[in-house]
Structures are given as C-alpha cells and as structure tokens.
Amino acid sequence: DSGVTQTPKHLITATGQRVTLRCSPRSGDLSVYWYQQSLDQGLQFLIHYYNGEERAKGNILERFSAQQFPDLHSELNLSSLELGDSALYFCASSVGPWDNEQFFGPGTRLTVL
Amino acid sequence: SQKIEQNSEALNIQEGKTATLTCNYTNYSPAYLQWYRQDPGRGPVFLLLIRENEKEKRKERLKVTFDTTLKQSLFHITASQPADSATYLCALDNNNNDMRFGAGTRLTVKP
C-alpha cells in the first residue's frame, strides 16, 4: 500500500459526459501528479501540482482540468468524454516539487461507452 | 523530438540468471533517472533513482547504471526469481517538474 488513495476504483460512463477523479496524497507529500495509461500509449504524464500550484503540464487535453486543494487532495476533471479517453488514470505523490520518488495510487479505471 | 526507448517490449530469462534492461533517451538532459516496477492493473512502484553525477547505484539484487554520454541507463536484476516477473519502466525528468516514462519492458522469469 503506497498511502495514496484514489476514488472511484472503476467508472463507467457514456460519451459526452463529465467525470471527476479524486486523489489523496500520502501524508506529508506536497506534490501530486496525474497520469493516463492506455494499452497503446503507455504511461502519459498529464499534470503536476505542488502545494496547490500548477508546476508542469504534459499531454493534457483542453477537455481535462485539474486542481489541488488546500488540504492537498487533487481532482482531475474530464469532460466531453470520448471513447478514446478510456484508460487507467493514476495519481502519484511525492514529498517535493521534483527529484523525488513518486508513490502511485491504485488507479481509476475509466470506461467510456 | 524527445524520445525514451526501452530495449525490448518483452524479455524472457531463466531463474537465477541476470536480467539486463536498457533505457535510451534522445533530446533530454535529465538531472536524474528512475526505474519503476509495474504489475498488471496496478500502479508503478519506485525501485531506484540515479542522478546525472552518479555512475552506478545498487539496492539488494538491483543495480542501475547511468551514462549521460551514451544517453543510456542499464537496469540489472541479479539472481532473478519468478517473482521478479513484471513490467519495468524507466522514467526521467527534464528539470521541468514533470516525469516522462518509457513504454516499459515486460520481464518474464521462468522457473
């Protein structure tokens, strides 16, 4: 158990819908990272927050947004969902803004029908 | 364009042998490189971090090397066991506060 929690574990929804994925980092970790993993794309970095502020953006679509709240939990919002958004979404946390090992959560499996 | 390439999609070895996995990168100048293990349907688990000024790092049966001239990292598992069977990912940071992962190498250790 990494200490990172993600909810929900599974999510099934329809195209065009909007969903919110939630992540609670390990106690004491200030950084939260979001990744998308699909079979044909591998693990893709989406976005990184450190202590409430956005630090880096990766291959995140404009339909996706995220934030980190004062209590350090983070939410990833996915809207206007498409079939291709079906994937495993991982959240990871680390102590500092970089140069640290990342602890990954169990993931949320999103299926868009 | 920036690329991270892991030598092969799959590697099969016999129990007790040393597994060697390769990670090559282009158009990156990473301050450090990390290796993770991932089991099917689960999140990656951190194994080792090596910095640009370090040549080699060890942890139990694991050893990683980092050659910034060759732009390559090698990851070794000695005395491999069936329980080492998993996908191994290399990841590097480009000093931009983000981490990019390779596609991974699926290792199978046969008894």
Coil, helix or strand at residue B85? coil
CB A57 within 8 A of CB A66: no
- Asked if A99 has any chain B CB less than 8 Å from its own CB, the reply is yes
* Chain A CA closest to residue B30: A99
- Indicate whether A26 pLDDT > 90: yes
- Asked if B99 has any chain A CB less than 8 Å from its own CB, the reply is yes
For chain B, 111 residues long, give each residue's pLDDT as a single digit of tens. 888 999 777 999 999 999 999 999 998 888 889 999 999 989 999 999 999 899 899 999 999 999 999 999 999 999 999 999 999 999 988 766 678 899 999 999 999
Question: Which two structure tokens, joined as six digits, stand for A66?
Answer: 């995220």
Q: Name, in order, each residue with C-beta under 8 angstroms of B60's C-beta and a sequence gap of 6 or more.
A: none
Each residue's pLDDT tens digit, A86-103: 999 999 999 988 778 899
CB A91 within 8 A of CB A23: yes
Residue type, B69: T
CB A89 within 8 A of CB B28: no
- Asked if B40 has any chain A CB less than 8 Å from its own CB, the reply is no
Tell me how far apart the alpha carbons of residues A104 and A30 are, in angstroms, rounded to a whole number: 14
Band (pLDDT 50/70/90 cuts) for residue A11 is very high
Look at B98 and A88 and tell me if their CB atoms are within 8 Å. no
For residue B100, the distance in angstroms to the closest alpha carbon of chain A comes to 6
* Chain B CA closest to residue A39: B103
